[in-house]
Amino acid sequence: MQALTGFRDFFPEACARRNRVFQSWRRTASRHGFVEYDGPPLESLELFTRKSGPEIVKQLYNFVDKGEREVAFRAEMTPTFARMVGARHRDFRKPIKWFAIPQLMRYERPQKGRLREHFQFNADLVGFGTPAEDAEMIALLVDALRDLGLGAGDFRVRLSSRAVWHAALEAIGVPVGAHGGVFDVVDKLERVEAAQSDAKLGALGLGAGEIAKVRAVCGAADLGAAAAAVGGLGEAGEWLQEVVRSLQGLGAGDCVAVDLGIVRGLAYYTGVVFEAFALGADRKYDGRAVAGGGRYDDLLKNLAGVALPAVGFGMGDVVLGQLLEEKGLAGAGGASGRVFVAWPGEGFREAALGIVRRLREAGFCTEYPLRSQGLGKQLEAAENAGAGCVVIVGDDLASGMVDVKWMADRRQERVAVDRLEDTLAQLNPAN
Ligand code: HAM
């Protein structure tokens, strides 16, 4: 029997890769002052149907449980986050800066970079509603990718704003009631034939001149060009400009580009929206989204009855994993963190176990032979266990010395037992 289509088995190697990514996410989040939380994997269906929008609702894994309740596996973390913050927001000082690493399930067609389950680094901030908060979230996203070894040549955050789009559509003369429909078309513009998109915009009541302006905003090289296309973007434009300035100040500017072609598919976004895409060999977008997010100032009010502005993003592990693999960044960095303790005869076992205990207490993953074997066989076992080095305990222990054999280059050195932990410190504990 195999795992279900779109679901993954994580054999130890894959689990080790996953853990390295999770460790990096946790490290980066705490560097930015975010703390970890979690929620239940199963929620009431209504939590998702209320505000996430039709795309995600179509993709829900939902069923009626034995108590006749309509339930769904979490397809995204944001509704749970809003529900939890809404329930206890008075207990926490603002800004609330929380992150989680949930496994999410979406019933979508499996394809390169999209599966039916994925893990998502999900970070959100409930604060005061400022451009500085938007910039801080995007800086966290950029930092998370940089911490994994990726740089400006590997990905780009496309930065946009639904508030800017509302201002632009108002300037173009599109009635507010049609804005949502235009967003749906803009969201798919890059994936759908031009004639089909134009027909949809036409059905929303836009004439040829208006459609041309919508396309000009989508394709504008920067905010100035977009403003020029519609005759000004007002306060929403200034807000976005401030986000850009803060990102430059935070050193993330080279990884971010204003791009109003992004509006995002989820229904609850109200302001700044952004999406990080992988760059192909030609440094062009290859359609694979690594992360996406935005400001959602009404969701907490709608779901929990508390008017609190919020901004956040989700970064999936699937496209990210592919990208790290392609760039040679997925594997171990440095020598494996495992130590194997070996000895040339059973008479040394007891003394060697003392070393095993000491190394384990110092935090090293330490293994040793569980049956009587010659030294050659033990070295083979060390190799099979993926050890970075072997500590050989023999006669010299009486004079306080052991041998350390490094598995990568087979180098062997004599080390004072007192200094063993220092010598082994060069092993990479993450592997
Ligand atoms: P999203 O754009 O739906 O946003 O997902 C964020 C990221 O999760 C995507 O860019 C992608 O890397 C990954 N992802 C989504 N679906 C799949 C899938 N089927 N297979 C593999 N990876 C996937 C949200 O989920 C928002 N709730 C993010 C957010 C948090 N907004 C505010 N706070």
Per-residue pLDDT at 335: 54
pLDDT of residue 333 exceeding 50, the answer is no
Token pair recorded at residue 59: 């993709």
CB 102 less than 6 A from any atom of ligand 1: no
Per-residue pLDDT at 349: 94
Q: What percent of the chain has pLDDT over 70?
A: 98
Region 138-152 average pLDDT: 96
Ligand 1 atom having least distance to the Cα of 293? 31
Region 350-371 average pLDDT: 92
Region 137-153 average pLDDT: 96
Between the ranges 29-38, 52-61, 281-290, where is the mean pLDDT highest? 29-38
Q: What is the pLDDT of residues 157-208, one digit of tens each?
A: 999 999 999 999 999 999 999 999 999 999 998 889 999 999 999 999 999 9
Closest CA to 314 of 251, 270, 271, 266: 266
Between the ranges 97-106, 224-233, 376-385, where is the mean pLDDT highest? 97-106
| Sign of the C-alpha dihedral computed for residues 354, 358, 360 and 366 taken in this order | negative
CB 293 less than 6 A from any atom of ligand 1: yes
Q: How far is CA 341 from CA 27, 76, 373, 379, 420, in A?
A: 31, 45, 13, 9, 12
Q: Is 53 exposed, middle or buried (0-12, 13-18, 19+ CB in 10 A)?
A: middle
| Sign of the C-alpha dihedral computed for residues 141, 143, 146 and 152 taken in this order | positive
To the nearest 10 degrees (0 to 180), the angle between helices 208-219 and 194-203 is: 120
- Quote helix, strand, coil % in the chain, to nearest 5: 45, 20, 35
pLDDT of residue 11 exceeding 60, the answer is yes
Bin 176: left if φ > 0, else alpha if -120 < ψ < 50, else beta. Answer: alpha
| Sign of the C-alpha dihedral computed for residues 40, 45, 51 and 56 taken in this order | positive
pLDDT of residue 431 exceeding 50, the answer is no
**Is residue 130 classed as helix, strand or coil in its secondary structure?**
coil
- Ligand 1 centroid–CA 121 distance in Å is 9
Cα distance between residue 122 and residue 106, in whole Å: 16
Average confidence score pLDDT of the chain: 93
Region 90-103 average pLDDT: 97
Region 18-33 average pLDDT: 94
How many secondary structure helices (H) and strands (E) does the chain include?
A: 16, 17
Where residue 56 falls among pLDDT bands split at 50, 70, 90? confident
Per-residue pLDDT at 234: 93
pLDDT of residue 334 exceeding 70, the answer is no
Q: What is the pLDDT of residues 67-77, one digit of tens each?
A: 999 999 999 99
Per-residue pLDDT at 36: 98
CB 55 less than 6 A from any atom of ligand 1: no
Q: What percent of the chain has pLDDT over 90?
A: 84
Ligand 1 atom having least distance to the Cα of 114? 20
